[in-house]
Amino acid sequence: MDTLKLLLAFAPWIAFWIISAGHSMVCLQIGICVAAALVIVMGITKLHRGLLMWAGVVFFAFALVTVVLLKNLWIIQHLGILASGTLFMATLLSIAIGQPFTESYARDHVPKELWDSPPFIRSCYTVTGVWGLIFLANTLVNVAKPYHPDLGEWFFRGVEFCILVSGVVFTTVYSNLMRKKRASAARSV
């Protein structure tokens, strides 16, 4: 999975995260609306697929109703936990049902004859598992926010950003390593 495709897969979530950083109700509502629109457009164009897409559909539909329409304060205060938690649960579910969410994206970069190979399947589970840990870590960061308000919102956003960047770096490095390993194995045959 290349870095651009990976970032594109998370585009609705990234847009929501960036736009809602304005710390106002208007920015939060705009972020939710933009992310919901991106989920729909990306789903229709098949840029977004699988459980990651459905997690976005469920979360942003829920946020549209509870935040944009109803302005539910409890949901607004816990939206970071709910967003990261949704991604974490979708990742776990994708592993539990035997369809790690990274597999559909990884297939774009691997020859079809390797899709059922144990190394390919194992690498999809590995990358998905790492993303599960990343989403869990970000959920825990959001849980910690109310207990340490003295650190400030930007501190926590920085921690979340660093965690996400580490996931992108891991996925890129791991994918390149697997690609080189496949090419090396093909040359030795």
Q: Residue 6: its pLDDT value, please?
A: 77
98-121: average pLDDT:
91
136-147: average pLDDT:
97
Contacts 24+ apart (CB under 8 A), 134-138: 134/163, 134/164, 134/166, 134/167, 135/84, 135/85, 135/87, 135/88, 135/91, 136/84, 136/88, 137/163, 138/84, 138/87, 138/163, 138/164
Residue 34 has pLDDT above 90, yes or no: yes
86-114: average pLDDT:
92
pTM over 0.75: yes
Q: Residue 8: its pLDDT value, please?
A: 85
